[in-house]
Chains A and B, each alone.
Chain A
Protein backbone atom coordinates (compact mmCIF):
# COMPACT_ATOMS: atom_id res chain seq x y z
CA UNK A 1 0.00 0.00 0.00
CA UNK A 2 2.82 2.39 0.94
CA UNK A 3 4.61 1.54 -2.28
CA UNK A 4 1.53 2.33 -4.32
CA UNK A 5 1.16 5.66 -2.53
CA UNK A 6 4.82 6.41 -3.13
CA UNK A 7 4.54 5.71 -6.85
CA UNK A 8 1.34 7.73 -7.13
CA UNK A 9 3.01 10.68 -5.41
CA UNK A 10 6.00 10.51 -7.75
CA UNK A 11 3.76 10.37 -10.81
CA UNK A 12 1.76 13.32 -9.52
CA UNK A 13 4.89 15.42 -8.96
CA UNK A 14 6.26 14.60 -12.41
CA UNK A 15 2.91 15.44 -13.96
CA UNK A 16 2.66 18.78 -12.15
CA UNK A 17 6.23 19.66 -13.19
CA UNK A 18 5.30 18.72 -16.74
CA UNK A 19 2.33 21.10 -16.69
CA UNK A 20 3.91 24.06 -14.88
CA UNK A 21 7.61 24.27 -15.85
CA UNK A 22 6.94 24.71 -19.60
CA UNK A 23 4.55 27.55 -18.76
CA UNK A 24 7.16 29.21 -16.56
CA UNK A 25 9.70 28.96 -19.38
CA UNK A 26 7.12 30.32 -21.81
CA UNK A 27 6.26 33.28 -19.61
CA UNK A 28 9.97 33.98 -19.05
CA UNK A 29 10.44 33.91 -22.79
CA UNK A 30 7.67 36.48 -23.26
CA UNK A 31 9.24 38.83 -20.74
CA UNK A 32 12.93 38.28 -21.53
CA UNK A 33 12.39 38.60 -25.27
CA UNK A 34 10.36 41.74 -24.78
CA UNK A 35 12.95 43.43 -22.60
CA UNK A 36 15.78 42.42 -24.92
CA UNK A 37 13.87 44.08 -27.75
CA UNK A 38 13.03 47.22 -25.74
CA UNK A 39 9.38 46.25 -25.18
CA UNK A 40 7.38 45.52 -22.06
CA UNK A 41 5.78 42.24 -23.07
CA UNK A 42 2.49 41.08 -21.53
CA UNK A 43 1.44 43.50 -18.76
CA UNK A 44 -2.31 43.08 -18.41
CA UNK A 45 -3.36 39.48 -17.69
CA UNK A 46 -3.34 38.66 -13.98
CA UNK A 47 -2.43 42.18 -12.91
CA UNK A 48 1.20 41.88 -11.84
CA UNK A 49 3.41 42.16 -14.96
CA UNK A 50 1.08 39.95 -16.95
CA UNK A 51 1.97 36.78 -15.02
CA UNK A 52 -1.23 35.01 -16.12
CA UNK A 53 -0.72 35.62 -19.83
CA UNK A 54 -0.21 31.95 -20.68
CA UNK A 55 -3.19 30.90 -18.56
CA UNK A 56 -5.28 33.36 -20.55
CA UNK A 57 -3.80 31.93 -23.76
CA UNK A 58 -4.76 28.46 -22.60
CA UNK A 59 -8.35 29.51 -21.96
CA UNK A 60 -8.44 31.10 -25.40
CA UNK A 61 -7.09 27.99 -27.10
CA UNK A 62 -9.64 25.75 -25.34
CA UNK A 63 -12.50 27.88 -26.66
CA UNK A 64 -11.40 27.88 -30.28
CA UNK A 65 -13.05 25.80 -32.95
CA UNK A 66 -11.20 22.61 -33.83
CA UNK A 67 -10.76 22.43 -37.60
CA UNK A 68 -9.68 19.31 -39.46
CA UNK A 69 -9.23 20.13 -43.15
CA UNK A 70 -11.47 18.15 -45.49
CA UNK A 71 -8.46 16.70 -47.31
CA UNK A 72 -6.60 15.64 -44.16
CA UNK A 73 -6.05 12.13 -42.85
CA UNK A 74 -8.41 12.67 -39.96
CA UNK A 75 -7.29 10.23 -37.24
CA UNK A 76 -3.54 10.76 -37.76
CA UNK A 77 -4.07 14.52 -37.88
CA UNK A 78 -5.89 14.46 -34.55
CA UNK A 79 -3.44 12.15 -32.81
CA UNK A 80 -0.26 13.97 -33.87
CA UNK A 81 -0.20 16.56 -31.02
CA UNK A 82 -0.40 13.82 -28.40
CA UNK A 83 2.47 11.91 -30.03
CA UNK A 84 4.54 15.08 -30.06
CA UNK A 85 3.84 15.92 -26.42
CA UNK A 86 3.78 12.70 -24.39
CA UNK A 87 7.42 11.60 -24.91
CA UNK A 88 8.61 14.63 -22.95
CA UNK A 89 6.38 13.65 -20.04
CA UNK A 90 7.99 10.21 -19.98
CA UNK A 91 11.51 11.66 -20.16
CA UNK A 92 10.87 13.92 -17.15
CA UNK A 93 10.33 10.81 -15.05
CA UNK A 94 13.94 9.72 -15.49
CA UNK A 95 15.72 13.03 -14.83
CA UNK A 96 17.20 13.18 -11.31
CA UNK A 97 17.22 16.56 -9.57
CA UNK A 98 18.90 15.54 -6.32
CA UNK A 99 20.94 12.70 -4.80
CA UNK A 100 19.17 9.54 -3.69
CA UNK A 101 16.04 7.75 -4.80
CA UNK A 102 13.81 10.47 -3.36
CA UNK A 103 14.75 13.11 -5.89
CA UNK A 104 14.09 11.30 -9.15
CA UNK A 105 10.76 10.18 -10.56
CA UNK A 106 12.01 6.67 -11.21
CA UNK A 107 15.55 5.32 -11.52
CA UNK A 108 15.77 3.77 -14.96
CA UNK A 109 18.89 1.59 -15.33
CA UNK A 110 19.63 2.45 -18.94
CA UNK A 111 18.79 6.11 -18.35
CA UNK A 112 20.62 7.76 -21.25
CA UNK A 113 19.36 5.13 -23.64
CA UNK A 114 15.78 5.46 -22.47
CA UNK A 115 15.85 9.25 -22.59
CA UNK A 116 17.35 9.55 -26.07
CA UNK A 117 15.11 6.85 -27.50
CA UNK A 118 11.91 8.34 -26.10
CA UNK A 119 12.83 11.90 -27.14
CA UNK A 120 13.23 10.67 -30.71
CA UNK A 121 9.56 9.61 -30.71
CA UNK A 122 8.44 13.22 -30.28
CA UNK A 123 9.62 14.11 -33.76
CA UNK A 124 7.23 11.48 -35.08
CA UNK A 125 4.38 13.79 -34.03
CA UNK A 126 5.63 16.56 -36.32
CA UNK A 127 6.06 14.06 -39.15
CA UNK A 128 2.52 12.75 -38.66
CA UNK A 129 1.18 16.30 -38.60
CA UNK A 130 3.12 17.24 -41.71
CA UNK A 131 1.98 14.24 -43.69
CA UNK A 132 -1.63 14.03 -42.49
CA UNK A 133 -2.47 17.72 -43.08
CA UNK A 134 -2.50 17.18 -46.86
CA UNK A 135 -1.03 20.65 -47.21
CA UNK A 136 2.09 21.38 -49.25
CA UNK A 137 3.58 23.66 -46.62
CA UNK A 138 2.95 21.11 -43.90
CA UNK A 139 4.56 18.39 -45.97
CA UNK A 140 7.65 20.50 -46.56
CA UNK A 141 7.79 21.33 -42.87
CA UNK A 142 7.50 17.66 -41.96
CA UNK A 143 10.29 16.72 -44.33
CA UNK A 144 12.52 19.43 -42.93
CA UNK A 145 11.80 18.17 -39.43
CA UNK A 146 12.83 14.69 -40.50
CA UNK A 147 16.03 15.98 -42.11
CA UNK A 148 16.87 17.91 -38.97
CA UNK A 149 16.35 14.85 -36.79
CA UNK A 150 18.61 12.81 -39.08
CA UNK A 151 21.36 15.40 -38.85
CA UNK A 152 21.26 16.24 -35.15
CA UNK A 153 20.33 13.00 -33.43
CA UNK A 154 23.80 11.68 -34.15
CA UNK A 155 25.94 14.33 -32.41
CA UNK A 156 23.55 14.05 -29.45
CA UNK A 157 24.05 10.29 -29.26
CA UNK A 158 27.82 10.56 -29.60
CA UNK A 159 28.29 13.24 -26.95
CA UNK A 160 25.98 11.37 -24.57
CA UNK A 161 28.15 8.30 -25.16
CA UNK A 162 31.17 10.41 -24.22
CA UNK A 163 29.63 11.19 -20.82
CA UNK A 164 28.71 7.55 -20.34
CA UNK A 165 32.37 6.69 -20.98
CA UNK A 166 33.55 9.25 -18.44
CA UNK A 167 31.17 7.98 -15.77
CA UNK A 168 31.33 4.30 -16.68
CA UNK A 169 27.56 3.98 -16.45
CA UNK A 170 24.48 4.79 -18.54
CA UNK A 171 22.26 5.49 -15.53
CA UNK A 172 21.49 9.21 -15.09
CA UNK A 173 21.78 9.33 -11.27
CA UNK A 174 24.95 7.23 -11.62
CA UNK A 175 26.46 9.79 -13.98
CA UNK A 176 25.78 12.72 -11.67
CA UNK A 177 27.06 10.74 -8.69
CA UNK A 178 30.36 10.13 -10.51
CA UNK A 179 30.70 13.79 -11.52
CA UNK A 180 33.78 15.84 -10.53
CA UNK A 181 34.16 19.56 -11.18
CA UNK A 182 36.94 19.07 -13.77
CA UNK A 183 34.51 17.18 -16.00
CA UNK A 184 33.18 20.56 -17.10
CA UNK A 185 36.34 21.61 -19.01
CA UNK A 186 36.98 17.97 -19.97
CA UNK A 187 33.52 17.53 -21.55
CA UNK A 188 33.08 21.15 -22.64
CA UNK A 189 33.04 20.45 -26.38
CA UNK A 190 30.60 17.62 -25.84
CA UNK A 191 28.35 19.84 -23.75
CA UNK A 192 28.18 22.56 -26.40
CA UNK A 193 27.54 20.02 -29.16
CA UNK A 194 24.83 18.30 -27.10
CA UNK A 195 23.09 21.56 -26.30
CA UNK A 196 23.21 22.83 -29.88
CA UNK A 197 21.99 19.51 -31.26
CA UNK A 198 19.18 19.52 -28.70
CA UNK A 199 18.13 23.00 -29.76
CA UNK A 200 18.05 21.83 -33.36
CA UNK A 201 15.96 18.84 -32.45
CA UNK A 202 13.44 21.08 -30.70
CA UNK A 203 13.34 23.30 -33.81
CA UNK A 204 14.15 26.33 -31.73
CA UNK A 205 15.66 29.39 -33.39
CA UNK A 206 18.22 29.60 -34.96
CA UNK A 207 17.27 26.07 -36.07
CA UNK A 208 13.61 26.77 -36.80
CA UNK A 209 13.76 26.07 -40.52
CA UNK A 210 10.94 23.46 -40.28
CA UNK A 211 8.51 26.13 -39.03
CA UNK A 212 10.00 29.09 -40.92
CA UNK A 213 7.02 31.41 -40.93
CA UNK A 214 8.19 33.58 -43.81
CA UNK A 215 8.37 30.70 -46.28
CA UNK A 216 6.25 27.75 -45.17
CA UNK A 217 3.75 29.49 -42.85
CA UNK A 218 4.16 27.31 -39.77
CA UNK A 219 5.49 24.08 -41.24
CA UNK A 220 3.81 20.93 -40.03
CA UNK A 221 1.51 22.86 -37.67
CA UNK A 222 -0.02 25.12 -40.33
CA UNK A 223 -3.47 23.51 -40.30
CA UNK A 224 -3.81 23.18 -36.53
CA UNK A 225 -6.11 25.30 -34.39
CA UNK A 226 -7.22 25.56 -30.79
CA UNK A 227 -6.31 22.90 -28.29
CA UNK A 228 -4.29 20.72 -30.64
CA UNK A 229 -2.14 23.66 -31.64
CA UNK A 230 -1.68 24.50 -27.95
CA UNK A 231 -0.44 20.97 -27.31
CA UNK A 232 2.22 21.39 -30.02
CA UNK A 233 3.35 24.62 -28.37
CA UNK A 234 3.38 22.94 -24.97
CA UNK A 235 5.53 20.18 -26.48
CA UNK A 236 8.08 22.74 -27.62
CA UNK A 237 8.39 24.27 -24.15
CA UNK A 238 8.35 20.90 -22.40
CA UNK A 239 11.19 20.05 -24.79
CA UNK A 240 13.16 23.06 -23.55
CA UNK A 241 12.67 21.93 -19.94
CA UNK A 242 13.82 18.42 -20.82
CA UNK A 243 16.82 19.57 -22.83
CA UNK A 244 18.01 21.96 -20.11
CA UNK A 245 17.48 19.31 -17.44
CA UNK A 246 19.41 16.73 -19.42
CA UNK A 247 22.30 19.06 -20.21
CA UNK A 248 22.49 19.94 -16.52
CA UNK A 249 22.50 16.31 -15.47
CA UNK A 250 24.93 15.06 -18.09
CA UNK A 251 27.43 17.91 -18.36
CA UNK A 252 27.02 20.42 -15.54
CA UNK A 253 27.00 18.07 -12.58
CA UNK A 254 23.31 18.26 -11.64
CA UNK A 255 23.01 18.63 -7.89
CA UNK A 256 26.72 19.28 -7.25
CA UNK A 257 27.58 22.79 -6.10
CA UNK A 258 29.76 24.68 -3.66
CA UNK A 259 27.19 24.49 -0.83
CA UNK A 260 24.53 22.12 0.29
CA UNK A 261 25.04 19.14 -2.02
CA UNK A 262 23.14 17.00 0.50
CA UNK A 263 19.91 18.74 1.38
CA UNK A 264 19.60 21.49 -1.19
CA UNK A 265 21.13 19.76 -4.21
CA UNK A 266 17.87 20.07 -6.11
CA UNK A 267 18.19 23.88 -5.95
CA UNK A 268 21.44 23.63 -7.89
CA UNK A 269 19.85 21.42 -10.52
CA UNK A 270 16.95 23.82 -10.98
CA UNK A 271 19.24 26.88 -11.03
CA UNK A 272 21.50 25.40 -13.70
CA UNK A 273 18.54 24.27 -15.79
CA UNK A 274 16.94 27.72 -15.46
CA UNK A 275 20.16 29.37 -16.59
CA UNK A 276 20.26 27.11 -19.65
CA UNK A 277 16.63 27.91 -20.41
CA UNK A 278 17.57 31.58 -20.32
CA UNK A 279 20.36 30.86 -22.84
CA UNK A 280 17.82 29.11 -25.09
CA UNK A 281 15.66 32.25 -25.07
CA UNK A 282 18.68 34.49 -25.52
CA UNK A 283 19.78 32.53 -28.61
CA UNK A 284 16.33 32.96 -30.11
CA UNK A 285 16.57 36.72 -29.83
CA UNK A 286 20.18 36.90 -30.99
CA UNK A 287 20.68 34.69 -34.03
CA UNK A 288 19.04 34.73 -37.45
CA UNK A 289 17.60 31.52 -38.86
CA UNK A 290 19.97 29.11 -40.58
CA UNK A 291 19.18 28.07 -44.14
CA UNK A 292 18.31 24.41 -44.75
CA UNK A 293 21.66 23.52 -46.35
CA UNK A 294 23.58 25.44 -43.69
CA UNK A 295 21.72 23.41 -41.09
CA UNK A 296 22.82 20.13 -42.62
CA UNK A 297 26.34 21.34 -43.18
CA UNK A 298 26.78 22.54 -39.59
CA UNK A 299 25.89 19.15 -38.24
CA UNK A 300 27.74 16.87 -40.66
CA UNK A 301 30.92 18.85 -41.10
CA UNK A 302 31.30 20.44 -37.67
CA UNK A 303 29.27 18.87 -34.87
CA UNK A 304 29.83 15.21 -35.74
CA UNK A 305 33.64 15.51 -36.17
CA UNK A 306 33.74 17.50 -32.93
CA UNK A 307 31.80 14.86 -31.06
CA UNK A 308 34.06 12.10 -32.44
CA UNK A 309 37.04 14.14 -31.21
CA UNK A 310 35.37 14.48 -27.81
CA UNK A 311 34.96 10.71 -27.58
CA UNK A 312 38.65 10.23 -28.40
CA UNK A 313 39.65 12.78 -25.75
CA UNK A 314 37.36 11.19 -23.16
CA UNK A 315 38.79 7.75 -23.89
CA UNK A 316 42.43 8.83 -23.59
CA UNK A 317 41.96 10.83 -20.39
CA UNK A 318 39.89 8.10 -18.79
CA UNK A 319 42.42 5.35 -19.50
CA UNK A 320 45.35 7.53 -18.42
CA UNK A 321 43.84 8.42 -15.03
CA UNK A 322 42.55 4.94 -14.20
Chain B
Protein backbone atom coordinates (compact mmCIF):
# COMPACT_ATOMS: atom_id res chain seq x y z
CA UNK B 1 0.00 0.00 0.00
CA UNK B 2 1.46 3.45 -0.90
CA UNK B 3 2.15 5.69 2.06
CA UNK B 4 -0.38 8.52 2.41
CA UNK B 5 1.36 11.86 1.88
CA UNK B 6 1.00 13.71 5.16
CA UNK B 7 3.19 16.51 6.38
CA UNK B 8 3.27 16.19 10.16
CA UNK B 9 4.16 13.17 12.25
CA UNK B 10 0.84 13.23 14.16
CA UNK B 11 -0.99 13.39 10.86
CA UNK B 12 0.80 10.26 9.75
CA UNK B 13 -0.22 8.47 12.95
CA UNK B 14 -3.86 9.53 12.55
CA UNK B 15 -3.91 8.45 8.92
CA UNK B 16 -2.30 5.10 9.76
CA UNK B 17 -4.88 4.46 12.50
CA UNK B 18 -7.65 5.42 10.13
CA UNK B 19 -6.54 2.97 7.47
CA UNK B 20 -5.87 0.27 10.03
CA UNK B 21 -9.37 0.40 11.56
CA UNK B 22 -11.10 0.33 8.21
CA UNK B 23 -8.89 -2.45 6.87
CA UNK B 24 -10.07 -4.58 9.81
CA UNK B 25 -13.64 -3.75 8.77
CA UNK B 26 -12.72 -4.85 5.25
CA UNK B 27 -11.26 -8.11 6.58
CA UNK B 28 -14.46 -8.83 8.48
CA UNK B 29 -16.43 -8.19 5.30
CA UNK B 30 -14.24 -10.80 3.58
CA UNK B 31 -14.96 -13.24 6.44
CA UNK B 32 -18.68 -12.54 6.02
CA UNK B 33 -18.60 -13.12 2.27
CA UNK B 34 -16.66 -16.36 2.82
CA UNK B 35 -19.23 -17.48 5.38
CA UNK B 36 -22.10 -16.91 2.96
CA UNK B 37 -20.20 -18.58 0.11
CA UNK B 38 -19.39 -21.64 2.23
CA UNK B 39 -22.98 -21.82 3.49
CA UNK B 40 -24.40 -21.67 -0.01
CA UNK B 41 -21.81 -24.14 -1.32
CA UNK B 42 -22.47 -26.62 1.49
CA UNK B 43 -26.20 -26.13 1.01
CA UNK B 44 -25.81 -27.08 -2.63
CA UNK B 45 -24.27 -30.40 -1.58
CA UNK B 46 -26.87 -31.15 1.11
CA UNK B 47 -30.17 -30.30 -0.49
CA UNK B 48 -32.20 -32.14 -3.12
CA UNK B 49 -32.81 -30.58 -6.53
CA UNK B 50 -36.11 -31.74 -8.02
CA UNK B 51 -37.59 -28.81 -9.91
CA UNK B 52 -41.02 -29.11 -11.50
CA UNK B 53 -42.82 -26.38 -13.48
CA UNK B 54 -45.44 -26.07 -10.71
CA UNK B 55 -42.76 -25.52 -8.07
CA UNK B 56 -41.11 -22.78 -10.10
CA UNK B 57 -44.38 -20.94 -10.56
CA UNK B 58 -44.81 -17.61 -8.80
CA UNK B 59 -46.67 -18.13 -5.52
CA UNK B 60 -50.02 -16.38 -5.32
CA UNK B 61 -51.88 -18.15 -2.53
CA UNK B 62 -52.17 -21.38 -4.49
CA UNK B 63 -54.00 -20.12 -7.59
CA UNK B 64 -52.28 -19.60 -10.95
CA UNK B 65 -50.57 -16.19 -11.08
CA UNK B 66 -52.49 -13.44 -12.86
CA UNK B 67 -50.42 -11.22 -15.15
CA UNK B 68 -46.82 -10.21 -14.56
CA UNK B 69 -45.09 -10.08 -11.20
CA UNK B 70 -43.62 -6.67 -11.84
CA UNK B 71 -46.98 -4.95 -11.81
CA UNK B 72 -47.96 -1.30 -11.67
CA UNK B 73 -48.80 -0.10 -8.20
CA UNK B 74 -49.67 3.29 -6.93
CA UNK B 75 -46.93 4.36 -4.55
CA UNK B 76 -48.92 6.54 -2.22
CA UNK B 77 -46.09 7.68 -0.07
CA UNK B 78 -43.65 8.95 -2.68
CA UNK B 79 -43.77 12.48 -1.28
CA UNK B 80 -42.34 11.07 1.95
CA UNK B 81 -39.32 10.04 -0.08
CA UNK B 82 -38.64 13.66 -1.06
CA UNK B 83 -39.13 14.78 2.52
CA UNK B 84 -36.76 12.09 3.69
CA UNK B 85 -34.00 13.05 1.28
CA UNK B 86 -34.21 16.70 2.33
CA UNK B 87 -34.23 15.93 6.04
CA UNK B 88 -31.55 13.24 5.92
CA UNK B 89 -29.13 15.48 4.06
CA UNK B 90 -29.81 18.24 6.59
CA UNK B 91 -29.39 16.06 9.63
CA UNK B 92 -26.01 14.80 8.40
CA UNK B 93 -24.72 18.33 9.00
CA UNK B 94 -25.62 17.99 12.67
CA UNK B 95 -22.89 15.43 13.34
CA UNK B 96 -19.72 17.47 12.65
CA UNK B 97 -21.33 20.38 14.43
CA UNK B 98 -22.36 18.22 17.38
CA UNK B 99 -18.77 17.37 18.28
CA UNK B 100 -17.58 20.98 18.62
CA UNK B 101 -20.54 23.16 19.56
CA UNK B 102 -19.90 23.08 23.31
CA UNK B 103 -16.12 23.51 23.00
CA UNK B 104 -14.60 26.65 24.57
CA UNK B 105 -15.12 29.69 22.37
CA UNK B 106 -18.34 28.48 20.76
CA UNK B 107 -21.07 28.48 23.43
CA UNK B 108 -24.26 30.50 23.11
CA UNK B 109 -23.76 31.80 19.56
CA UNK B 110 -23.48 28.28 18.16
CA UNK B 111 -26.55 27.27 20.10
CA UNK B 112 -28.56 30.11 18.54
CA UNK B 113 -27.35 28.98 15.14
CA UNK B 114 -28.57 25.50 15.93
CA UNK B 115 -31.98 26.78 16.88
CA UNK B 116 -32.21 28.61 13.55
CA UNK B 117 -31.28 25.34 11.82
CA UNK B 118 -33.81 23.34 13.84
CA UNK B 119 -36.36 26.08 13.14
CA UNK B 120 -35.90 25.58 9.42
CA UNK B 121 -36.43 21.84 9.80
CA UNK B 122 -39.50 22.31 12.00
CA UNK B 123 -41.03 24.89 9.66
CA UNK B 124 -40.42 22.54 6.74
CA UNK B 125 -42.18 19.73 8.53
CA UNK B 126 -45.03 22.01 9.56
CA UNK B 127 -45.40 23.22 5.98
CA UNK B 128 -45.58 19.64 4.73
CA UNK B 129 -48.16 18.89 7.42
CA UNK B 130 -50.26 21.93 6.48
CA UNK B 131 -50.10 20.96 2.82
CA UNK B 132 -51.60 17.61 3.74
CA UNK B 133 -48.56 15.65 2.60
CA UNK B 134 -48.39 13.70 5.84
CA UNK B 135 -51.96 12.44 5.69
CA UNK B 136 -52.89 9.33 3.76
CA UNK B 137 -54.42 10.01 0.37
| CB atoms of B32 and A301 under 8 A apart | no
Question: Do A315 and B43 contact each other (CB < 8 Å), given the known contacts A69-B59, A135-B60?
Answer: no
User: Which residues of B sit under 8 angstroms from A157, Cβ to Cβ?
Assistant: 88, 91-92
User: Which residues of B sit under 8 angstroms from A11, Cβ to Cβ?
Assistant: 24, 27-28, 31
User: Which residues of B sit under 8 angstroms from A107, Cβ to Cβ?
Assistant: 21
A78–B102 Cα gap in the complex (Å)?
Answer: 49
Write out, one digit per residue, whether chain B residues 41-65 have a CB within 8 A of any chain A CB (1) or not (0).
0111011111101011111110001
| CB atoms of A71 and B91 under 8 A apart | no
Write out, one digit per residue, whether chain A residues 139-160 have a CB within 8 A of any chain B CB (1) or not (0).
1100100010011011001100
Chain B contact residues, majority secondary structure = helix
Is there a chain B Cβ closer than 8 Å to A29's Cβ? no
| CB atoms of B36 and A71 under 8 A apart | no
User: Which residues of B sit under 8 angstroms from A78, Cβ to Cβ?
Assistant: 40
A106, A135, A223, A293: which contacts B21 (Cβ < 8 A)? A106
Question: Do A69 and B58 contact each other (CB < 8 Å), given the known contacts A86-B36, A319-B107?
Answer: yes
For A83, the closest partner residue in chain B by CB is B36
Is there a chain B Cβ closer than 8 Å to A318's Cβ? yes
Mark out the residues of chain A between 263 and 322 whose CB falls within 8 Å of any chain B CB in the assembled complex: 293, 296-297, 300-301, 304-305, 308, 311-312, 315-316, 318-319, 322
A136–B69 Cα gap in the complex (Å)?
Answer: 5
| CB atoms of B122 and A85 under 8 A apart | no
- Closest approach, in angstroms, between the C-beta of B11 and any C-beta of chain A? 14
Is there a chain A Cβ closer than 8 Å to B81's Cβ? yes
In this complex, the member of A82, A89, A133, A319 whose beta carbon has the largest number of chain B beta carbons within 10 angstroms is A319
A7, A90, A140: which contacts B29 (Cβ < 8 A)? A90
A10, A67, A222: which contacts B56 (Cβ < 8 A)? A67
Chain A contact residues, majority secondary structure = helix
Tell me which of A35-43, A49-57, A163-171 binds B: A163-171
User: Which residues of B sit under 8 angstroms from A169, Cβ to Cβ?
Assistant: 99
Is there a chain A Cβ closer than 8 Å to B127's Cβ? no
B55, B83, B91: which contacts A158 (Cβ < 8 A)? B91
| CB atoms of B134 and A135 under 8 A apart | no
For B24, the closest partner residue in chain A by CB is A106
| CB atoms of A90 and B56 under 8 A apart | no
A131, A301, A316: which contacts B111 (Cβ < 8 A)? A316
- Closest approach, in angstroms, between the C-beta of A196 and any C-beta of chain B? 17
Is there a chain B Cβ closer than 8 Å to A109's Cβ? yes
A90–B29 Cα gap in the complex (Å)?
Answer: 7
- For chain B, give the interface size range: 35 or more
- Closest approach, in angstroms, between the C-beta of A29 and any C-beta of chain B? 22
Is there a chain A Cβ closer than 8 Å to B3's Cβ? no
A7, A15, A147: which contacts B24 (Cβ < 8 A)? A7
Tell me which of A58-66, A187-195, A198-206, A252-260 binds B: A58-66
User: Which residues of B sit under 8 angstroms from A90, Cβ to Cβ?
Assistant: 25, 28-29, 32
- Closest approach, in angstroms, between the C-beta of B109 and any C-beta of chain A? 10
Is there a chain B Cβ closer than 8 Å to A137's Cβ? yes
Write out, one digit per residue, whether chain B residues 1-34 have a CB within 8 A of any chain A CB (1) or not (0).
0000000000000000110011011011101110
| CB atoms of B98 and A62 under 8 A apart | no
A62, A138, A143, A316: which contacts B47 (Cβ < 8 A)? A62
| CB atoms of B77 and A296 under 8 A apart | yes
User: Which residues of B sit under 8 angstroms from A158, Cβ to Cβ?
Assistant: 91, 94
A15–B108 Cα gap in the complex (Å)?
Answer: 46
Is there a chain B Cβ closer than 8 Å to A244's Cβ? no
Top 3 closest pairs, chain A to chain B, by CB: A134-B69, A293-B136, A165-B98
19 A-B pairs whose Cβ atoms sit less than 8 Å apart in the complex = A11-B24, A66-B44, A66-B47, A66-B49, A67-B56, A78-B40, A105-B28, A106-B24, A108-B22, A135-B58, A147-B77, A151-B84, A170-B98, A217-B59, A222-B59, A223-B59, A227-B43, A315-B111, A318-B102
